[in-house]
Structure 1
C-alpha cells in the first residue's frame, strides 16, 4: 500500500542542503497522480486553482531544500491520487454516492484549544464514528469492502509514526496521536488542496491569503463528504464526529454540504493557544528544512492565522445558524470531562449514558496531562507580547467570556 512521504530523511549532518529549485509544478503533480490511478481528474474544474495557488506559494515563499521539495512533491501527489482513487470507487460502485452522512458533528475551535483532547473523549462513545489515523493516510480500499486490509494498514501507520518521531523534537508531547487512534480531517482537506494546516507545515503566506479570500470551501467539503461515504460504505451506519480546528473557517460551507450538521467548539485563552501554535508550526516547518524557520516570522504569521479563525467564529456566532454550535469551556473540560461531556450531549439533544461518562473518566484518569512528555512554549520566543495579543483578541474573549489561562486553570482546581 502507498505511504505518504511526510518527514525528512534521517541525517546527522549539520551542513545545510542547497535550497531547492523552487519549481514544483502543479500540472506535473496532477499528471503523476492521474498516471498512477489511470484516470483524469473529474474534479479539476472546481479544485485545480487550489493546488496551483499552493504550489505557487511554496515556490515563492517556502525556501525548501531539495529534499524538502521532494517530500512535499510526493505528499501532494499522494493526496491528489487518493482523491482520484475515491472518484474511481464511486464510478465503479455508484451506490457509494447514496450513503447518507446523517447529523455529523464537527469538533472544532481555535488551534491548540483542546480539540484533540476532546476528540479522544468523543472516541469513548461508540455511538460516534471517528476517522482513524490509518484511514486518513491510506483511505483506500474502503474498510467495509476489504476488512482484511485493516490490520496491515494499522501496522503501516505505526511504522510511519515511529519513523516520524525522531524528526520532530518532542513529537509525542506535541500532539496526542496513536496508531489506531482518532485522526483529524487535515488529510481529507488536503485531497482538495484546501487544508489551512498547509501553512503550519510550510511557509506559504500567499496560499493563506488565497484560502482566506478565494478558496471554494463548498467544493472542498463535497470531496471531504465523498471520503466519509467511502469509509462508511458496507459498514454499520454511525454518526460521524469530525475534528479539525480549521472547520471554523468554513462553517457556512459545511452546512451547505451537510444541512443536518452540528458543531461542538472548545474555547481556551487565545494567547495560550497562539503560543502553542507558534511552537508547533516552528517545529513542523523545521522538519522540512535544515535551517530552522525564523521564529519572529512564524509569530507574525500565526497571529494573523489565529485572527482569521477568530473572525470566522465571531461571524458565525452572530449569524442565523449560531444555535448549531455547542460551546465548551476548555477549563471546565479539563476539570470535569465527564460532566462536560454530559453538557455537550444535552446540547446535541442526545442522552448521556453512565457507561459513556465512566469511559470518559477512565480515559482521562489513564492519560493525565504531561504523561507523554512536557511541551513548554513561550510567546516571547516568537517576537510577540502577551498583553498586545490579548488586546488584539479581546473581542473574542469578551464574547465567549474566556479567562486568561492562569485564571481558568485556578478556577478549575
Structure 2
C-alpha cells in the first residue's frame, strides 16, 4: 500500500496550529453536537421546524462518526460544522416552504432523465452531454447545496448563494491538489444529486467529503429509503417551480442501489445506467475520496476507507440487479467502452430509446462539448487498487456477480 501524502499550504497549516493552541487552552472548540448545530441553524433562519424527525438518526450517526472516526484537524472541524449547519438550514427552509407554498408541491414533475451507475463509469460525462440540450436543465452544485435563498438576501444577479459557493470553492481548492484531474467541478457546473440529499442526512455527500467510516457502515445497511426520496422529489418540485418548461437531467451513482425508491417517487423517470469494469471504478473512487479526506483529517485510515467503498458497492449492485430482474425493461444501459468510442451516437441512441426529440442543433452542441472536453483536459489521473490496500483480484472477486450479470468481460 502506497501512501500519497499531500501537505496543506502553509497558511492552512498555520491556521491549524493556531486552532490546536486555542483548543488546548480551552478558548475555542467547535462542538459537533446536534443541539449546538441545530441552534445555529435556527438562529440563521428564524425557523424551528425541521420536519419529519427521521433525519435525526443519520445526523447523530454522522456527528458520532465525525468525532470518533475522522481524526479531524481544526480546519476539518470547521468545514464539518459548516457543511452540517448548512444542511440543517436547508431542511428548515424546505419544511417552511411546504407550509407556505403548498401549490409548488401540487405540480407534477416533468419526467426527468436520471443517470445511475458506478461512480467513475462515465456518469459525469454523459450527464453533462445530456445537459447541453437547451430543452434540458441540469442542476449546478451551488443550487444543490443551497436550494433555498435566505429571506433577507437581495435578489441580485449573480445569486448570493452562488457567490458564497465560489468563496467556499476558492478556500477548498488549495486543500485538494490534483482534484481537477479526478473530477472537475465548480459551483456553476452540473453536479450529482447526492448534494441535494444532504438535508436528509442520509447521503453519500458526507462520506465523500469526510472520513466518516461508521456513518457509511450505517448508510450501507439502510433499506428503507422512501422518505429521503420523497423529500428529494419535493426538492425537484421546488427547482421546477422556477423553470417549469425544461426537463431535468440528473445523475448520481448513489441511485444505483435505490431504483425501487426512484420508481415509487418518480414513476415516469427515464433511467440510464452506465457500466464499466468495477476494478477501475473502485480504484478511482478510492483515489477521489482519499484526496478529499486528506484535506480535513490528520490521518486517513486508507484500508478502512477502501473496504467501506467495496462493501457499499457490493450492496448497491446487488440491490440494483434485484430490482432489474423484477423490472427487466425499466433501465437503458450504456457501456463505457462503446460510449467513449462513440459518445454522440450513444447520446442519440438514448434520445431514440425514450422517444425524445433529436435535431441537428442538439447534435452540434453534443459534438461541440465532446470536442472541447477531451480526456485529461484537466490533468492525468493515475491510481491503482494497490495504493489503497486492495488488489484487482480482490475487487474482481467481490463484484464478479455484477460483471457477469452485465457481461463486462469484453
Q: Say whether the fold is shared (TM-score over 0.5).
A: yes
3-state secondary structure, aligned to 1:233: helix
CA contact (8 A) 2:130 2:136 kept: yes
Q: Cα gap change, 1:215/1:207 in structure 2, threshold over 3 Å: closer, same or farther?
A: farther
| Superposition pairs of residues 207-286 of structure 1, within 5 angstroms | 207-214=215-222, 216-286=224-294
- Give 2:26's aligned residue: none
Matches of 1:14 and 1:381 in 2, distance apart?
Answer: 30
Mean Cα deviation higher: 149-158 or 165-174: 149-158
Q: Cα gap change, 1:205/1:158 in structure 2, threshold over 3 Å: closer, same or farther?
A: closer
- Give 1:166's aligned residue: 174
Q: What is the CA-CA distance between 1:192 and the residue it aligns to? A: 0.5
Matches of 1:52 and 1:43 in 2, distance apart?
Answer: 16
Q: What is the CA-CA distance between 1:115 and the residue it aligns to? A: 0.8
Structure 1's unaligned 5+ residue stretches are 1-6, 408-413
- Give 2:353's aligned residue: 347
Mean Cα deviation higher: 269-278 or 57-66: 57-66
| Superposition pairs of residues 14-413 of structure 1, within 5 angstroms | 24-141=32-149, 148-214=156-222, 216-291=224-299, 293-319=300-326, 321-403=327-409
CA contact (8 A) 1:274 1:303 kept: yes
Q: Cα gap change, 1:362/1:170 in structure 2, threshold over 3 Å: closer, same or farther?
A: same
Structure 1 length as normaliser, TM-score? Answer: 0.87
Matches of 1:171 and 1:360 in 2, distance apart?
Answer: 25
Structure 2 length as normaliser, TM-score? Answer: 0.88
Matches of 2:313 and 2:52 in 1, distance apart?
Answer: 30
Q: Cα gap change, 1:8/1:248 in structure 2, threshold over 3 Å: closer, same or farther?
A: farther
Matches of 2:155 and 2:77 in 1, distance apart?
Answer: 35
CA contact (8 A) 1:134 1:180 kept: yes
Matches of 1:233 and 1:100 in 2, distance apart?
Answer: 10
Q: Cα gap change, 1:50/1:194 in structure 2, threshold over 3 Å: closer, same or farther?
A: same
- Give 2:12's aligned residue: 11
Q: What is the CA-CA distance between 1:365 and the residue it aligns to? A: 0.8
Matches of 1:385 and 1:289 in 2, distance apart?
Answer: 25
CA contact (8 A) 1:79 1:187 kept: no
Partner deviation per Cα, 1:242-294 (whole Å, 9 max, x = no partner): 11110113211122211212211110111001110011111111110233x13
- Give 1:410's aligned residue: none
Matches of 1:15 and 1:59 in 2, distance apart?
Answer: 17
Number of aligned residue pairs: 395
CA contact (8 A) 1:47 1:219 kept: no
Mean Cα deviation higher: 107-116 or 255-264: 255-264
3-state secondary structure, aligned to 2:53: helix
Matches of 2:181 and 2:36 in 1, distance apart?
Answer: 37
Matches of 1:345 and 1:151 in 2, distance apart?
Answer: 32
Q: Cα gap change, 1:184/1:146 in structure 2, threshold over 3 Å: closer, same or farther?
A: farther
Partner deviation per Cα, 1:125-182 (whole Å, 9 max, x = no partner): 122221122212332239xx98644454444433432332211020211213244221
Structure 2's unaligned 5+ residue stretches are 1-7, 24-28
Cα RMSD for the two superposed structures: 2.7
3-state secondary structure, aligned to 2:204: coil
CA contact (8 A) 1:110 1:245 kept: yes
Mean Cα deviation higher: 197-206 or 357-366: 197-206
3-state secondary structure, aligned to 2:32: coil
CA contact (8 A) 1:101 1:240 kept: no
CA contact (8 A) 2:140 2:191 kept: yes
Q: Cα gap change, 1:256/1:288 in structure 2, threshold over 3 Å: closer, same or farther?
A: same
Q: Cα gap change, 1:147/1:368 in structure 2, threshold over 3 Å: closer, same or farther?
A: farther
CA contact (8 A) 1:36 1:81 kept: yes
Matches of 1:186 and 1:67 in 2, distance apart?
Answer: 23
Q: Cα gap change, 1:234/1:14 in structure 2, threshold over 3 Å: closer, same or farther?
A: closer
- Give 1:411's aligned residue: none
